């Protein structure tokens, strides 16, 4: 079973502490990160996604610490950052296939999978249109869809349901819950209250310190 451990993580930006001795253990299932704006949730997701390194502390993937295990983790990682500059000239499908190629996926299988995900989240009619024509919500769904390509065992999602109408957000939520049956899914979302009953953990980040959100039904992790 996949296991991701953060152990005594500190993160500083220009000497400003953003994560302060964060330790937690992730197993397959959905973990929600909640907490006020600026608390450090996106920073935590970036560390999990290996987009940044901790200032100190250890990240351990399946009993092997990073950086040694970084490539193994990256091979099975899906990451949807909160903001990303998408290549406007490409179609959604071309962008998804570009991401699939970077992940080393079989492109014909990835194309089929992208079509199926797009169908589920209401993007299917638009996948051959240039991204330049996409609304904020469509861009958000495309970023989400590329994160789900392949069969990632660790999925880090930063507000994947922002800018989506309720129905579409719920479709995205349903897909996330399906994947969480096998994968470690860590996400921030404004749908936290709705998803909390299905989450294995709800972690509250408060000024860079991690605790469990008991009010939302979460369980504490070591
Ligand atoms: N690259 C960076 N350089 C300097 N400071 C940063 C950087 N990234 C984040 N910060 C700061 O770190 C703190 C935590 O930011 P982070 O984006 O992780 O919070 P958040 O909980 O995700 O907030 P939100 O809910 O608004 O997205 C903030 O004070 C932010 O200004």
pLDDT in tens, 46-68: 999 999 999 999 999 999 999 99
> What is the residue whose two structure tokens read 């079973």?
1
User: Domain boundaries in the chain?
Assistant: 4-216
Q: CB of 42 closer than 6 A to ligand 1?
A: yes
* Probe target for ligand 1 pocket from 12, 16, 18, 19, with the most ligand atoms within 8 Å of CB: 18
Question: Which residue CA neighbors atom 6 of ligand 1 most closely?
Answer: 13
C-alpha–C-alpha distance, residues 55 and 33, integer Å = 21
SS percent in the chain: helix, strand, coil, step 5: 35, 25, 35
Dist. CA 40 → ligand 1 center (Å): 6
Residue 84 has a pLDDT of 87
Percent above pLDDT 90 for the chain: 84
Determine the atom of ligand 1 nearest the C-alpha atom of 159. 27
CA distances from 159 to 38, 51, 188, 192 (A): 14, 17, 5, 10
Dist. CA 85 → ligand 1 center (Å): 18
Q: Which residue pairs from 217-220 have beta carbons closer than 8 angstroms and sit at least 24 positions apart in sequence?
A: 218/32
Dist. CA 39 → ligand 1 center (Å): 7
> Can you tell me whether residue 78 is helix, strand or coil?
strand
- Please provide the average confidence, as pLDDT, over all residues in the chain: 92
Q: CB of 161 closer than 6 A to ligand 1?
A: no
> What is the residue whose two structure tokens read 């605790």?
211
pLDDT in tens, 140-164: 999 999 999 999 999 999 999 998 9
Percent above pLDDT 70 for the chain: 95
pLDDT grade for 221, boundaries at 50, 70 and 90: very low
- Whether this prediction's pTM lies above 0.80 is answered by yes
Residue 49 has a pLDDT of 96
Complex-level ipTM beyond the 0.90 threshold: yes
Question: Which residue CA neighbors atom 12 of ligand 1 most closely?
Answer: 18
Q: CB of 11 closer than 6 A to ligand 1?
A: no
| Cβ-contact 141, 122 below 8 angstroms | yes
Residue 219 has a pLDDT of 41
Q: CB of 106 closer than 6 A to ligand 1?
A: no
Determine the atom of ligand 1 nearest the C-alpha atom of 33. 21
C-alpha–C-alpha distance, residues 59 and 83, integer Å = 24
Residue 213 has a pLDDT of 65
User: CB within 8 A of 50, min separation 6: which ones?
Assistant: 66, 70, 73, 74, 77
Mean pLDDT over residues 69-81, rounded?
A: 95
Mean pLDDT over residues 177-201, rounded?
A: 92
- CATH class, domain 4-216, is alpha beta
Residue 192 has a pLDDT of 83
| Residue 222 pLDDT exceeds 50 | no
Q: CB of 18 closer than 6 A to ligand 1?
A: yes
């Amino acid at each position: 079973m996949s296991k991701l451990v953060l152990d005594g993580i500190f993160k500083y930006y220009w000497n400003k502490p953003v994560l302060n001795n964060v330790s937690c253990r992730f197993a397959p299932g959905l973990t929600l990160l909640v907490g006020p704006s600026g608390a450090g949730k996106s920073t935590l997701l970036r560390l999990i996604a290996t987009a940044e390194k901790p200032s100190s502390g250890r990240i351990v993937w399946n009993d092997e610490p990073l950086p040694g295990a970084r490539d193994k983790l990256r091979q099975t990682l899906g990451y949807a950052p909160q903001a990303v500059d998408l290549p406007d000239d490409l179609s959604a499908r071309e962008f998804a296939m570009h991401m699939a190629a970077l992940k080393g996926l079989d492109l014909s299988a990835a194309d089929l999978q992208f079509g199926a995900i797009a169908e589920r989240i209401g993007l299917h009619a638009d996948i051959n249109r240039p991204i330049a024509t996409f609304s904020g919500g469509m861009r958000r769904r495309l970023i989400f869809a590329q994160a789900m390509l392949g069969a990632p065992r660790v999925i880090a999602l930063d507000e994947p349901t922002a800018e989506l109408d309720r129905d579409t957000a719920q479709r995205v939520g349903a897909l996330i819950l399906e994947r969480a049956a096998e994968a470690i899914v860590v996400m921030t979302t404004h749908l936290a209250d709705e998803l909390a009953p299905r989450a294995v953990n709800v972690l509250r980040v408060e000024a860079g310190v991690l605790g469990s959100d008991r009010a939302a039904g979460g369980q504490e992790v070591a």
